[in-house]
């Protein structure tokens, strides 16, 4: 009977392999500990945001006012189209949009006014005028002249190249990225944007226009600075004060 029993064979592991396993486990444990400490460090640096009841009430009131304003505007006759010479508009976001209606948020995103005091060039048509009317309490806009467009591009122009912002001071950059669209220098880019040519979107999408870090009292600009809604259609330029502020401080993205 003893002969029929199968002998159990214990496989021996070499000592050097055991040492390697132990060292590997120690390394993995150290890495896990460091990762946990780094995660706690990152979480500790995030400040907790507490919202007071007054803020919820303020946002709710703003949303109700927006919905009421948009509902009343829907029953009014559509705004008259400006003269044919005013084909280009410039819009600047001047207020926060916390708690506003969903429609206003979507229009602001479509205009690419993601940050306060950011701006964008807009092609003037019936659809864009309706969009600007919908966000008028939070956006100032008007019709810039050629001088304003040139100053914005020359003083604040930055091209997005490889996820980095490069000043638009070299015509070689424009020729490299916009040469296929017929633009080889800054003047070509300025003319394409101001004239709202067939490559308008490509021209405005090339770069962004940074603003100064310090806004100061100049940031306190109302929607009336770009002209009232009644006479804006007859304007062919932004007011002097508004143009100067835009050139110095506002960001332009498209």
Please report the pLDDT score of residue 189 as a whole number.
83
Report pLDDT for 254. Answer: 41
Check residue 188 and give its pLDDT. 83
pLDDT of residue 30: 92
Q: 90 forms bridges with which residues in the sheet?
A: 121, 142
pTM (global) more than 0.95: no
pLDDT of residue 196: 85
Sequence spans of domains, the chain: 56-252
Low-confidence ranges of the chain (pLDDT < 50): 1, 210, 212-254
Residue 239 has a pLDDT of 42
């Amino acid at each position: 009977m003893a002969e029929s029993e199968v002998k159990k064979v214990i496989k021996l592991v070499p000592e050097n392999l055991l040492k390697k396993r132990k060292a590997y486990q120690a390394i993995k444990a150290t890495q896990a500990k460091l990762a946990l400490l780094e995660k706690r460090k990152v979480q500790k640096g995030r400040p907790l945001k507490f919202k007071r009841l007054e803020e919820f009430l303020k946002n709710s009131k703003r949303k109700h006012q927006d919905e009421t304003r948009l509902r009343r505007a829907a029953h009014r006759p559509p705004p008259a189209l400006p003269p044919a010479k005013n084909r280009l508009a410039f819009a600047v976001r001047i207020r926060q949009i916390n708690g506003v209606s969903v429609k206003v948020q979507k229009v602001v995103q479509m205009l690419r006014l993601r940050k306060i005091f950011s701006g964008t060039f807009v092609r003037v048509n019936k659809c864009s005028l309706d969009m600007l009317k919908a966000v008028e309490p939070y956006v100032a806009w008007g019709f810039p002249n050629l001088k304003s467009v040139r100053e914005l591009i020359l003083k604040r122009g930055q091209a997005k190249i490889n996820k980095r912002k490069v000043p638009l001071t070299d015509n070689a950059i424009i020729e490299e990225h916009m040469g296929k669209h017929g633009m080889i220098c800054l003047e070509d880019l300025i003319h394409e944007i101001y004239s709202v040519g067939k490559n308008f979107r490509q021209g405005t999408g090339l770069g962004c226009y940074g603003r100064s870090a310090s806004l100061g009292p100049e940031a306190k600009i109302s929607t009336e600075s770009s002209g009232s809604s009644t006479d804006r259609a007859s304007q062919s330029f932004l007011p002097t004060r508004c143009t100067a502020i835009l050139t110095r401080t506002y960001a332009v993205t498209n």
